[in-house]
Amino acid sequence: MDSFVNLMSPLTRVNLPKHIAIIMDGNGRWAKARGLHRVEGHARGVKVSEDIIEVAHDVGIGYLTLYAFSKENWQRPPEEVHALMGLLKAFLLEKKQKMLDKGIRFNTIGDILKLPQDVQETIAMVKKETAHGEKMMLTLALSYGSRDEIIRAVRAMFSAGLETSSVNEEILASFLDTALMPDPDLIIRTSGESRISNFLLWQGAYAEFIFEECLWPDFDQHHFMAAIAEYQKRERRYGKTSEQLM
Ligand code: FPP
């Protein structure tokens, strides 16, 4: 692992993305290509997530957000949904101590009240115990859809009795599930699909996108480092000219 960190020159460390978000796609196709059940693809996907969490932490990424379960994923066969919930719970129980040791704060975005009660309780416990982690915030998007998040935020603003004239970008952002984190600088999607799939629509307004050909179970720390290097080569202008940025 250290070798990856050592590979980074002091210059590349300066321009690191603060927040990387990943759409982990392709578990099913990976399993199918090997004659395995889809769930085995997800199990392998969790292992890859663990490696990427580790390297993101070691490199010094402050915020890592992983799209683990979308609102639309509830429509999958019940056995697959059940297996994904089981993998999620096992991940949290197995990795809690490592998160504590490494200063990782666990967080979620999405409508987690839809998750099974035992999974909700495990999430609440891990969030509470890791709340003091300061090195990296690990966020799992669970039962997440960006449009749903925005609707929930607007409803919460109405309930809070906000004056319409007081609503601005900052206020709306503070009602989103992501209120605790900066916008993503870099969004990576695996499996060769070039779609955003209802992920961080508001927050990704100025993000760089990298669409990676390989399936999530084949994604590794080299791909992750290469994506950061690609990000560092891009110039982010936020609508300004290059001269204005100088
Ligand atoms: C997309 O693959 C992936 C998912 C729907 C779930 C992703 C979840 C994990 C990798 C595990 C959760 C991670 C943690 C850390 C608990 P797909 O099934 O849509 O693949 P396909 O498009 O090839 O069918």
CA count, 13 A, side-chain hemisphere, 93: 11
Report whether pLDDT(3) > 60. no
Q: Which atom of ligand 1 is nearest to the CA of 32?
A: 23
CB atoms closer than 10 angstroms to residue 185: 21
Quote the pLDDT of residue 1.
47
CA dist., res. 78 & res. 193, Å (int): 25
pLDDT in tens, 88-105: 999 999 999 999 999 999
Please confirm, yes or no, whether 73 is among the known catalytic residues.
yes
Mean pLDDT of all residues belonging to the chain: 94
- Using a pLDDT cut of 90, give the percent of the chain over it: 89
pTM for this prediction: 0.94
Instruction: Give ligand 1 pocket residues (Cβ under 6 A).
Output: 24-29, 42, 45-46, 49, 66, 68, 73, 87-88, 91, 216
Please confirm, yes or no, whether 15 is among the known catalytic residues.
no
CA dist., res. 191 & res. 207, Å (int): 19
pLDDT in tens, 96-145: 999 999 999 999 999 999 999 999 999 999 999 999 999 999 999 999 99
